[in-house]
Amino acid sequence: MQLCVIPGDGIGHEVIPVAVSALRRLLPGLQTHAADAGWECFQRSGSSVPEATLESLRASGAGLFGAVSSPARKVAGYRSAILTLRQQLGLNCNLRPVRSWPVISPRSGIDMLILRENSEGLYVGREHMESEGIAIAERQISRVACEQFAARIVEVAEQRSAHRVTLAHKANVLLLTCGLFRDTCRQVLAAHGWEAQVDERLVDVAALQLVESPESFDVLATTNLFGDILSDLACYWSGGLGMAPSLNWGQSIALAEPVHGSAPDIVGTGRANPIAALLSAALLLRYHWQQPELAARLDAAVEGFLVEAGAVDFADRTTEIIADGVISRL
């Protein structure tokens, strides 16, 4: 098994080594290849994703990515590393599980999988000034991307024997783009026998229900921007950003990535929670490497650690204590 390891910026350097240690425990033959990306990389090399990083990812077929910082204003030549990786490697589906964890979650009984189309929508980066004072952003939805995305919905729905697949969209206003997304997803799901489980929500209603009745969701699938927002909102139920994993999932390459950013406010303090990175590694095991038993062991080790940590204020836990607590259980 090959893994390309890209810590990136900030706390990426603190949490990714923990996830790599856990994977080494579970996969003793794992070969890792270090690669560079992000803002510091751009400042050093003039590129936020050097060609060597793309080559290493393609050769490995799997990657673990920490986080990258982004400049708050446009910097000439700089392009977001993660957006570049998603587009260059065809990572067209972003998978974000949200579930209740003992101790740290504000509510029990939640277990959903959010799928976000990862390659187009409003994030194609086509913005221009129409005239002074009028800025335009284009939103692209294509049948072929929706079909590939919907094939992933089918795959995860089958894997977890889903009782419901909710499509969140805004087809009442965005008739063409959201309409194409909804209709294509419905067609693919119906072709695979999932018609009866498909459910639709306008995205604003879905947001309200994610707050009011999060346990009613099972598989939730949506377009890029909507998915970005809804999945961050939903990760509140998992216990926040330090607990939220994701997998960027392409046809032959997958890149696991904690949802959080580079957290400059806590970098170097030893307080970064490595669980999001650990759970991201578990997603690689479960969905990309098809090792559900190993993934379940990693999830169980996190759960065991949280139960033992118990009522003690979680904020007092350091990266090292959490890392030791989880990895010793593997």
Q: How far is CA 81 from CA 73, 126, 220, 223, in A?
A: 15, 17, 26, 20
Minimum separation from the CB atom of position 163 to ligand NAI (A): 31
Q: Within 10 Å of residue 290's Cβ, how many Cβ atoms?
A: 10
Give kind and range of the element (H or E) at residue 246.
strand 245-249
Backbone angles phi, psi at 220, to 5 degrees: -125, 120
Distance in Å, CB of 311 to Mg ion, minimum: 30
Asked whether position 257 contacts Mg ion by CB under 5 A, the answer is: no
Nearer to ligand NAI, 89 or 146 (CB): 89
Dist. CA 105–CA 237, nearest whole Å: 6
- Choose between 96 and 288: whose C-beta lies nearer to Mg ion: 96
- Cβ distance to ligand NAI smaller for residue 186 or 260: 260
Nearer to ligand NAI, 68 or 323 (CB): 68
Contacts of 277 (CB under 8 A, 6+ apart): 15, 16, 18, 19, 64, 66, 245, 258
Please, what is the minimum distance in Å from the beta carbon of residue 64 to ligand NAI?
A: 13
Does residue 36 touch Mg ion according to CB under 5 A?
A: no
CA dist 117 and 144 (Å) reads: 12
List the Cα angle 235/317/101 in 5-degree steps: 35
CB of 239 to Mg ion, least distance (A): 16
Please list, in sequence order, all residues whose beta carbon lies within 8 angstroms of the beta carbon of residue 251, skipping any fewer than 6 positions away. Answer: 90, 148
319 binds, options Mg ion, ligand NAI, none, Cβ within 5 to 8 A by partner type = none
* Residue in 164, 142, 144 with CA at minimum distance from that of residue 153: 164
- In whole angstroms, the minimum distance from the beta carbon of 272 to Mg ion comes to 17
Partner whose footprint covers residue 104, from Mg ion, ligand NAI, none (CB < 5 to 8 Å by kind): none
Which residue ranges make up the site for ligand NAI (CB under 6 A)? 11, 15, 67-70, 82, 241-242, 260-266, 272-273, 276
232 or 324: CB nearest Mg ion: 232
Contact with Mg ion (CB under 5 A): which of 14, 120, 228, 257? 228
Which residues contribute to the site for Mg ion (CB under 5 A)? Answer: 228, 232
